[in-house]
Structure 1
Amino acid sequence: MIRLAESKDIDQLIRMRWDFTIEHNPSNKFNESDLEKFKIECRNFLENAINSEQWFIWIAEEEGRIISHIYIELIQKVPRPGRITRPFAFMTNVYTVSDYRNKGISSQLLTTINEWAKNEQYEFIIVWPSDDSINYYRKNGYSHCKEPMEYFPS
């Protein structure tokens, strides 16, 4: 089942974010104190996100267990004369539980999001893929764009 996340999903989403971080940064040494601090910060973020019109957290679930999720943040653009200004979507925190990978679940989730973005008439979706996920996005209709620039304030 694919749907938008609700408040009842927050505990699972917190755990999945923690697991995602551990999986992709195995050298990090976190302890129980780190987990408790993280739970507070992440719960606050998720409560605000789920109740906003800026964030959309799409999930795939099986028997009440979230097995995959994709977070979308809408970015509002400054209006320009002569055209209708529509927001674009920033995709982040794409994660599938390891036992469910390579079974098409995440692609189904992404297809749902692509259709949703088209129906809502968002201008485009942007994602910064890891090297390992480039083919996943390609097979789902995504293409590379010019590299963005960034600035890190010190």
Structure 2
Amino acid sequence: MDFDVRRALPADAPSLAELRWAFKQEDEGVPEPPDAAVFLRQAESWIHDRLADGRWSAWVAEAAGAIRGHVFLQPVERMPDPHGDTAPIGYVTNFYVAPAHRDRGIGTALLQALTDHARAGAVGTLIVWPSDRSAPLYQRSGFLAPDELLELILDT
């Protein structure tokens, strides 16, 4: 199946919210409707607003007239530095390809579009907390375990 990758638009928010719901159901299970309707409205508004004002960027893969996958990027500002090293850090998240469309190169193409954008000067470093399933794809794309990053999990 052929597919195209492009930057997500605010108008894509309804489809992206539906895929977010599918992603979270597959990943960790979530309550069934009526909670789905509430979540979809909230997620659609949140995604629309952040894509519209540029706080977040996303890329989508379209096949057979529908969005089949996505990946999101949020630039995290850095403090001014006297050496000029102030390029934002890019937080990569919400990377999902619908199960029926996996193993066709869609995930690789989405991640390539995001990293091409980053290399063009949008951010200086990309970070991600991959799932066990997605870690091999990130590693094939050049992501490495950091030597310097420390993490404190505050969710208990």
TM-score by length of 2: 0.89
Deviation at 1:20, TM superposition (A): 0.7
Kindly provide the amino acid, as one letter, of the partner of residue 20 in structure 1: F
Tell me: CA distance 1:24–1:84, structure 2 relative to 1, closer, same or farther (3 Å). Answer: closer
Return the alpha-carbon distance in structure 1 between the equivalents of residues 155 and 77 of structure 2.
Answer: 23
Aligned to 2:28: 25
SS in 1 for 2:109: helix
Counterpart selection for 1:9 from 5, 8, 12: 12
Runs of 4+, deviation exceeding 6 Å:
none
1:82 positional shift:
2.3
What is the aligned counterpart of 1:149 among 110, 132, 151? 151
CA contact (8 A) 2:11 2:48 kept: no
How far residue 95 of structure 1 moved from its aligned partner, in angstroms, is 0.1
Partner of 2:121 in structure 1?
120
CA distance in 2, matches of 1:50, 1:38: 18
Give the CA deviation at 1:138.
0.8
Kindly state the Cα deviation for residue 40 of structure 1 after the two structures are TM-superposed: 2.1
Q: Report how far residue 53 of structure 1 moved.
A: 2.1
Contact 2:10 2:49 in 1 (8 A): no
Secondary structure of the corresponding residue to residue 133 of structure 2: helix
**107-116 vs 144-153, which deviates more?**
144-153
What are the within-5 Å matches in structure 2 for residues 3-152 of structure 1?
3-26=6-29, 28=30, 30-146=31-147, 147-152=149-154
- Residue 91 of structure 2 aligns to a residue whose secondary structure is strand
Q: Return 5+ residue gaps in structure 2 as ranges.
A: none
- Given residue 148 of structure 1, which amino acid in structure 2 is its aligned partner? L
Aligned-residue CA RMSD in angstroms? 1.7
| Further displaced range: 77-86 or 14-23 | 77-86
Q: 1:118 to 1:35 in 2, by over 3 A?
A: same
Of 74-83 and 6-15, deviating more is 6-15
What is the aligned length? 152
Q: Return closer, same or farther for 1:52/1:148 CA change in 2, 3 Å cut-off.
A: farther
Percent identical pairs in the alignment equals 26
**Residue 151 of structure 1: how far off its partner (Å):** 4.7
